[in-house]
Structure 1
C-alpha cells in the first residue's frame, strides 16, 4: 500500500467511527469519497474491521451498564426481574424488528436503496423529522419509564434505518424524543440498541468474508479497526457530554447541507452515479 491508500484507510475509518453514532447517516458519508474523489472500495475485510472497531468502542463505553444489565437479565430468567434486567429485555425486544427487516428485506434494499438519490432524499427527510421531534420534545420521561410499547416503536423506527441515508442513531433518537423521552435517555438507549445491530451486521459480513477467501491486507484492516474504534469512542463521549447544550440543531443543519450536496452531485452528472 502506498501513502495515499493509507490516507484513504484512515479517513474512511474515522468517517465510519463518527457517523455510526452521530445522527447524520453513515451511508451518505461513505458514498461521497468514492463519488467525489474516486476513492476505491476498501474491501469486505476492511468493512468488517471498522464494524468491529465501533462495536468495541460502544461496548467499552457502556461496559459497566452492560455488565449490570447482563447479570440482571440472567437473574430475570429465574423470575427475579429488576430495572436493569427489564432494560436488557427491552433492548432485545427493540432489536427484533431490525433483525426481521434485515432478513426479509435486506436484498431488496441492497438492490434498490443504494442510489445516491435515495440517500439524499432520506438524509433530508429524516433530518427534518429529527428537527421537528427535537423542537416538540417534552422531556417528561427517562430510562425507568421505558416500556414494551416504547421499545416496539423505537425498534420499528430502527428497522426503517435499513434504508440507506436514514441514520440508525438519528431515527431511533427521533422516535424516543417523539415518545417524550429526554435527550440523554434517547441517545443512550439508541447506543445500547446499536450493540446487537452492529454485532449482527458484522457477523453477516464476517461470514461473507470467510466465503470470499483470502487476499486481505490485514495490516490495513487492523489500522482501520483501531482508528474506527477510537474515533467512535471519542464521538460517543463528546456527543453525550454536549447533547443537552447543543441539542440536535447542528446535526439537522449538517444533514440538510449534506442532502443538498448529494442532490447537486447527482444532478450534475447522474449518468456516472448509482
Structure 2
C-alpha cells in the first residue's frame, strides 16, 4: 500500500466506525471505487485497534466504574447502575457473536456486493430517520431494562450485513425504545467495545493462519490515524446529534445508496 491509501482507509475507518453510515460498507467500497488492491487482514486489524483505543480512551471513566461494579456484582450478587450497564453490554453482545458464527460465510461472500450494500444503506437509513422523527424519547442509559438491552442486542446482529451499520441499527433500536439521542449513541459506543475486540480476535486468527507479511509502518500509521479520527468523531458526533439529530446521516445514506445502485446495477 502507498501512503495515500493508508491515510484514506485509516480516516474512513475511524470516522465511519461510530457514525450511523456503515464502516464496513465504506471499507469495501473504497477499493472498488479506487481500484486499489485489498488492504489485507493485517491492516484491517490495525484499523480496528485504532478505533478500539479511541472508544476506550473516550469512555475511560465509564469503563473504569463499570468494570469495578461488575467485579463486585460477581462476588456480592448486588447490582448498581454501573454493574447493570456492564452486564447489559455483555448480554447485548451475545446475539451478534452467535450470528457471526452461523452466517459468516454467507455475509463475506454473497452479501458484500455493492448492490446489497446500497440496499442496506437505504432501507436501514430510512428506519433510522423514522425512529429519530417519531420515537425519540428522553430515557437515559441507566433507565434501560433487560428487555430493552436484548432487543438492542438482537438489532446489533443485523449489522453483520454490509451497509446496515452497527452503530446505526443499535441507535435505531434504542430510539424506538424511547432513549434520547445522546443515550442511544452512548450505549451504541459502549456496545462497540466487545464487538471490536471479537472482530480483532477473529481477524487475528485468520491472519495467523494465512501467515501474511506485515508492513509494520503501515500498521502503526493505521492505528494512530484511525484512533485519532475515531476519537474526534465520537466527541463531535455526541455534540452534533444534540442539536441537529440523525437526519443528515439519513440523507447521506440514501444519496450514497442511490449512487451505488446507479453505478453498479
**Fold similarity call, TM over 0.5:** yes
Cα contact 1:24–1:123 (8 A) shared by 2: yes
Say which SS state the counterpart of residue 62 (structure 2) adopts. Answer: helix
Shift of 1:140: 3.2
Cα contact 2:29–2:114 (8 A) shared by 1: no
Say which SS state the counterpart of residue 113 (structure 1) adopts. Answer: helix
TM-score normalised to structure 2 length: 0.97
Pair 1:71-2:55 in alignment:
no
Q: How does 1:164-243 map to 2 (within 5 A)?
A: 164-243=162-241
What CA distance in whole angstroms lies between the structure 2 residues aligned with 1:232 and 1:73? Answer: 27
User: Hey, what does 1:81 align to over in structure 2?
Assistant: 79
What CA distance in whole angstroms lies between the structure 2 residues aligned with 1:141 and 1:119? Answer: 32
Consecutive aligned runs of 4 or more in structure 1 exceeding 3 Å deviation: none
TM-score normalised to structure 1 length: 0.94
Is 134-143 or 81-90 further displaced after alignment?
134-143
Shift of 1:221: 1.0
User: Hey, what does 2:9 align to over in structure 1?
Assistant: 12
User: Hey, what does 1:55 align to over in structure 2?
Assistant: 52
Query: For each residue in 1:77-136, what CA deviation from the matched residue of structure 2 results, as whole angstroms up to 9, or x when unmatched?
Result: 121221100110111111110011011111121121111110000100000000000001
What CA distance in whole angstroms lies between the structure 2 residues aligned with 1:67 and 1:91? Answer: 14
Count of equivalent residues: 264
What CA distance in whole angstroms lies between the structure 2 residues aligned with 1:209 and 1:116? Answer: 25
Cα contact 2:171–2:188 (8 A) shared by 1: yes
Pair 1:129-2:127 in alignment:
yes
Gaps of 5+ in 1: 268-274
Cα contact 2:6–2:222 (8 A) shared by 1: yes
Shift of 1:26: 1.2
Shift of 1:37: 1.6
What CA distance in whole angstroms lies between the structure 2 residues aligned with 1:13 and 1:149? Answer: 36
